Homo-oligomer: A and B are copies of this chain.
Amino acid sequence: MINFTIKFQSGVPIYEQVIYAVKKAIVTEQLKAGDRFPSVREVSKELRINPNTAQKAVSHLVRERLLEIKPGIGSIISELGAATKAQRDKILNDEVEKLVVESKRLSIKKEEVVDAINRGWKLDNKEG
């Protein structure tokens, strides 16, 4: 069985939506380290997407060290590890900057953004 939630929307690649749904499920502890992750064929069948698309999502998640493969058996959720400097910089510089620029252009106040982050930090996973 699939143990994470997802609701597809157009305009975003399917495999990216799967990756994000899994990330969010892990971060919200809906999926915990050591939990079994459904097989490629299982994901493909339950989400009704192509096996290759499911495989693409899984391989990305492995490369990002969110999943570990047990050959011949299946895959499990990894522990959340520390970030590399490059990863930290990408978030704390590039991604934050994008959010700031978009907020400013829409005349959204800094306090509103910070509030939204405080609110979002204690996440309850409603949809994916």
Which positions in A face B, CB cutoff 8 Å?
Answer: 20, 23-24, 26-27, 66, 80-83, 87-88, 91-93, 95-108, 110, 112-114, 116-118, 120-121, 123
Q: List 7 A-B contacts (CB under 8 A).
A: A27-B105, A82-B107, A83-B108, A91-B116, A96-B99, A101-B123, A104-B121
Q: State the number of copies, please.
A: 2
Give Cα distance in the complex from A88 to B103, angstroms. Answer: 8
Contact at B95–A107, with CB atoms within 8 Å? no
Which among B81, B98, B107, B123 is the interface contact of A100 at CB below 8 angstroms?
Answer: B123
Chain B residue at minimal CB-CB distance from A117: B96
Give Cα distance in the complex from A69 to B100, angstroms. Answer: 26
